[in-house]
Chains A and B, each alone.
Chain A
Amino acid sequence: MSPREIFTLRDYLGPELKGRSISDARRVVSLTTILEQTCLVGRFGQLAGRSVLLAVADQLISALAMIEIDGVARRMLLCPPDLNADHIETLIDDAGIDAIVTDQPGRWADVGVYLVVAARAPERAVKQAKSERATEWLMLTSGTSGVPKIVGHTLEGLTGAIVADGSARGTPPVWATFYDIRRYGGLQIFLRAIIGGGSMVLTEPGEALADHVARLNAGGVTHISGTPSHWRKLLMSGSAAGLAPRYVRLSGEIADQAVLDGLKGAFPEASIGHAYASTEAGVGFAVNDGLEGFPASLLGQGGDGVEMKVEDGSLRIRSTRAAHAYVGRHAAALTDNDGFVDTGDMLELRGDRYHFVGRRGGIINIGGLKVHPEEVEAVINGHADVRMSRAKSRKSPITGSIVVADVILADGCDVSRSGQIREEIMADCRARLAPHKVPVMIKFVSALDITAAGKLARTDA
Chain B
Amino acid sequence: MQQIAKEQQVTLPPLNDDLSLHETGFDSLGFAILVARLEDDLGIDPFTMSEDAAFPLTVGDFVRAYENVPA
Contacts and interface: CB of A to CB of B under 8 A. Distances in A.
Interface stretch (A46-54, A63-71, A115-123, A391-399): A391-399
A450 interface: no
Nearest to A440: B33
B35 A397 contact: yes
Contacts of A430: 7
B40 interface: yes
A79 B33 CA distance: 45
The size bracket of the interface on A is 10 to 19
Nearest to B50: A397
Contacts of B66: none
A426 B28 CA distance: 19
- Which interface residue of B28, B31, B40 has the most chain A CB atoms within 10 A? B28
Contacts of A398: 28-29, 31-32, 35, 47
A166 to B, nearest CB: 52
Interface in B5-19: 7-8
B45 A441 contact: no
A207 B8 CA distance: 47
Interface in A361-378: 366-367
Contacts of B7: 426, 430
Contact of B36 (A426, A435, A436, A440): A440
B61 to A, nearest CB: 14
A323 interface: no
The size bracket of the interface on B is 10 to 19
Contact of A397 (B29, B37, B45): B45
Given A398-B47, A426-B7, A441 B32 contact: no
A402 B32 contact: yes
Contacts of A397: 32, 35, 45, 47-48
Nearest to B47: A397
A404 to B, nearest CB: 8
Nearest to A404: B36
Contact of A396 (B8, B36, B40): B36
B37 A440 contact: yes
A394 B29 contact: no
Contact of B37 (A367, A395, A436, A441): A441
Interface string A316-356: 00000000000000000000000000000000000000000
A436 B7 CA distance: 12
Interface string B25-44: 00011011101110010000
A395 B48 contact: yes
B8 A440 contact: no
B58 to A, nearest CB: 16
Contacts of B32: 366-367, 396-399, 402, 440
Given A397-B32, A397-B35, A426-B7, 18 more contacts: A366-B32, A367-B28, A367-B29, A395-B48, A396-B32, A396-B35, A397-B45, A397-B47, A398-B35, A399-B32, A402-B33, A402-B36, A436-B29, A440-B33, A440-B36, A440-B37, A441-B36, A441-B40
Nearest 10 pairs between A and B by C-beta?
A397-B47, A398-B32, A399-B32, A396-B32, A397-B48, A440-B33, A398-B31, A402-B32, A398-B28, A367-B28
26 contacts: A366-B29, A367-B28, A367-B29, A367-B32, A395-B48, A396-B36, A397-B32, A398-B28, A398-B29, A398-B31, A398-B35, A398-B47, A399-B28, A399-B29, A402-B32, A402-B33, A402-B36, A404-B36, A426-B7, A430-B7, A435-B8, A436-B29, A440-B36, A440-B37, A441-B37, A441-B40
Interface of B: 7-8, 28-29, 31-33, 35-37, 40, 45, 47-48
